Amino acid sequence: MRIGQSLLLASRQTLAMTPQLQQAIKLLQFSHLELAAFIQQELEKNPLLSEGTPDDGPVAEPDALPLEPPADTAETLAAVAPALAEADDRWTREHADRGGDAAASGVGKREDAPDALDFVAGRPRSLAVHVLEQIELMFGDTGERRIALKLAEGLDEAGYCRLEAAGVAAGLGVGLDAVEAVWARLRQIEPAGLFSRTVAECLGAQLAERNRLDPAMTALLANLDLVAAGELGPLRRRCGVDDEDLRDMLAELRTLDPRPGQAFDFEPIQPVAPDLYLQPAKDPDTGEEGWFIELNTDALPKVLVDRNYHATLMKGARAKADRDFVAERFQSANWLVKTLEQRATTILKVAREIVRQQDGFFRHGVSALRPLVLRDIAIATELHESTVSRVTSNKYIATPRGIFELKYFFTSSLPARTPGTVVSSESVRSRIRLLVGGESAHQPLSDDRIVDLLKGEGVEIARRTVAKYREAMRIPSSAERRRLGRLGMGRSLPAALSSAAMASQALAGPAD
């Protein structure tokens, strides 16, 4: 064997990550707000780019006919979902906790476009309208108002803000002190207790407003778990009061409102404009009911290449360096416009397939939500899974059932008792929430009983899976729910509140 160096020629294909390709990938995963900021930077850097005006109507996929649902939708629903249908109305009222960061500003300038606050229209007064009006009055600085709107996004139906200050600061790129300062001002909004992080903080704000937040009351609020457990002896010692004072303190605590947000009609605040609209449609030829998807052009930045200015610059350029600069800017402008068009087309293509796959959800609600993974959409659209993932991140669609992130429609599956069929884990969560909400306050359903009920409805599920879903929805165990029922909570069970929060709810009596 001869050992030595040699020179060999071989050809192979590789994908070069050019700056243009990197830019296209980056634009694809941008939200419309991030895209608008990026385009603004490009407009400042490139003299050949100009800001265009949106078309008269939204961009829709050409010749888009009503979408046909997958063939197995009807069979799957008939097999496993009859009992799940009753969960839809309740879920529609409660789905705000999955809506992600939905929105305070309007969705666009189209007269027929659904404004975010359209979802609360027709009611006498909503928490969203009340809070947004106060934010407009309190915050003149754009940066502070941006923080305030982000915190308002975290409000639940009880009036609590469940966001983490550090997470808000990191997400907005601001200092933690700035977030805490805005949060402190938001807690001044009436009624007292709005924007609290805990029940103790909520009740403390109301006591402070009455000038009754003394050290004994502060100690009582710090031990609400003892109040829930009825352990008055340890509670008395920690507060440093006698029996009579403790009774008076508990009586005063019962006069407070641990759910200040329920003084209003609740709908989730929607601070983002949807990227897409979904509307019912009919096939003009067959009359078949379907769906029509269109892009929200008001939320879609539009740029144009100023070709006249390009010609003028090229005529006036004497030096080669000047001509090269103009040519490079012209090529960059054309590439950006082409990339934006491709981005819009890809979003429409993916959204159209998601709607086709989840046709049952849009017609019947969460009980008909199908198990779906990125690969299913990737195969149907002939795109890579990573592309589908980027397209569905931070993109929202306005539907007759509300505003949803496209990621929401991807759910895992659970086996059904009918061979060959599966059900969505989200529809099972909705059913568990409904079962717990309708249980007797003094005889709550155990996890084993919930398993039996779900199996009776055709869903194969393990007890540990029920427990996992219940804990994820912040629903206490049956033993804790029984204890809270004895304290007078009745059938009210706000899933967003912690165990300590629900204990203090018992002090105020059953919810309306």
367 neighbors 416 (Cβ within 8 angstroms): no
More confident residue, 74 or 377: 377
| Contact assessment for residue 403 and residue 276, using Cβ atoms and an 8 Å cutoff | no
Residue 100: its pLDDT value, please?
A: 37
Of 28-32, 144-148, 487-491, the range with the lowest mean pLDDT is 487-491
Identity (one letter) of the amino acid at 478?
S
269: Cβ contacts below 8 Å, ≥ 6 apart: 102, 103, 104, 116, 127, 128, 131, 132, 152, 153, 155
Q: Decide if pLDDT at 92 tops 80.
A: no
Q: Are strands 49-51 and 276-282 parallel, antiparallel or unpaired?
A: unpaired
Whole-angstrom distance, CA of residue 359 vs CA of residue 106: 27
Q: Where are the domains of the chain?
A: 24-78+272-411, 124-266, 439-506
Residue 115's Cβ-count burial label (10 Å; 0-12, 13-18, 19+) is middle
The predicted-structure confidence for 208-260, as pLDDT tens digits, reads as follows 888 888 888 888 888 887 777 767 788 888 888 888 888 888 888 888 888 88
Query: In the chain, what percentage of residues exceed pLDDT 70?
Result: 74
Q: What is the pLDDT of residue 265?
A: 65
The residue with greater pLDDT, 269 or 28, is 28
The reported pLDDT for the residue numbered 125 is 60
DSSP assignment string, 260-283: GGGGSB----B-S--SEEEEEEE-
> What sign results for the dihedral spanned by CA atoms 140, 142, 146, 151?
negative
11-20, 305-314, 330-339, 385-394: least confidently modelled range: 11-20
Confidence of residue 473 (pLDDT cuts 50, 70, 90): confident
pTM higher than 0.75: no
Question: Has residue 110 got a pLDDT over 50?
Answer: no
Query: What is the average pLDDT score of the chain?
Result: 75
**Most confident stretch, 178-182, 410-414, 465-469:** 178-182
Question: Cβ of 132: how many Cβ atoms within 10 Å?
Answer: 21
pLDDT at 302 over 70: yes
- The dihedrals phi and psi of 358, each to the nearest 5 degrees, come to -105, 30
Model pLDDT, residue 17: 59
Report the top-level CATH class of 439-506.
mainly alpha
Q: How far is CA 386 from the centre of its chain?
A: 21
Vertex 77 angle, CA 74 and 80, to 5°: 145
Mean pLDDT check: name the lowest of 7-16, 106-115, 246-255: 106-115
Range among 52-56, 276-280, 418-422 rated most confident: 276-280
Tell whether the model's pLDDT for residue 481 goes beyond 60.
Answer: yes
CA distance 419 to 425: 17
Predicted local confidence at residue 301, as pLDDT: 73
* Longest Cα–Cα distance in the chain: 102
Instruction: Identify the band that residue 505 occupies on the pLDDT scale cut at 50, 70 and 90.
Output: very low
CA distance 295 to 460: 39
What confidence score (pLDDT) does residue 266 get? 54
Sign of CA dihedral 187, 193, 196, 200: positive
Question: DSSP strand E in 248-395: where?
Answer: 276-282, 289-295, 303-305
Q: How far apart are CA 111 and CA 298, in angstroms?
A: 11
Q: Is the pLDDT of residue 53 over 70?
A: no
Task: Give burial (CB, 10 Å; 0-12/13-18/19+) of 401.
Answer: middle
User: pLDDT tens for residues 367-419?
Assistant: 778 888 888 899 999 888 888 888 888 888 888 887 888 888 888 777 776 66
Query: Above pLDDT 90, what percent of the chain?
Result: 4
Hey, which of 46-60, 225-239, 287-301, 394-408 has the most confident mean pLDDT? 394-408
pLDDT: which is higher, 437 or 486? 437
